[in-house]
A = this chain, B = another copy of it.
Amino acid sequence: MPSQPSRELETFPNPFPERDYTIRIKIPEFTCLCPKTGQPDFATLHLEYVPDRTCVELKSLKLYIWSYRDQGAFHEAVTNQILDDLVAACTPRFMRLRAEFNVRGGIYTTVVAEYRQPEWDAPEVVRLP
Interface residues of chain A, those whose CB is within 8 Å of chain B, are: 2-4, 14-16, 19, 21-29, 31, 36-40, 42, 48, 50-51, 55, 58-59, 61-62, 66, 69, 74, 76-77, 79-80, 94, 96, 98, 102-114, 116, 122-129
Complex-state Cα separation, A55 to B105, whole angstroms: 17
Give the distance to chain B from A83, nearest Cβ to Cβ, in Å. Answer: 9
Chain B residues with CB below 8 A from A76, complex form: 14-16, 21, 23, 51, 55
Complex-state Cα separation, A40 to B39, whole angstroms: 17
Contact of A105 among B2, B38, B62, B79 (CB under 8 A): B62
Q: Are A3 and B129 in contact (CB under 8 A)?
A: no
Q: Are B22 and A105 in contact (CB under 8 A)?
A: no
Chain B residues with CB below 8 A from A106, complex form: 27-29, 42, 62, 102-104
Chain B residues with CB below 8 A from A66, complex form: 39-40
Lowest 10 CB-CB distances: which A-B pairs, in order? A21-B113, A26-B108, A2-B38, A24-B110, A22-B112, A22-B128, A15-B77, A16-B80, A122-B126, A125-B127
Which chain B residue has the least Cβ–Cβ distance from A38? B2
Complex-state Cα separation, A111 to B126, whole angstroms: 17
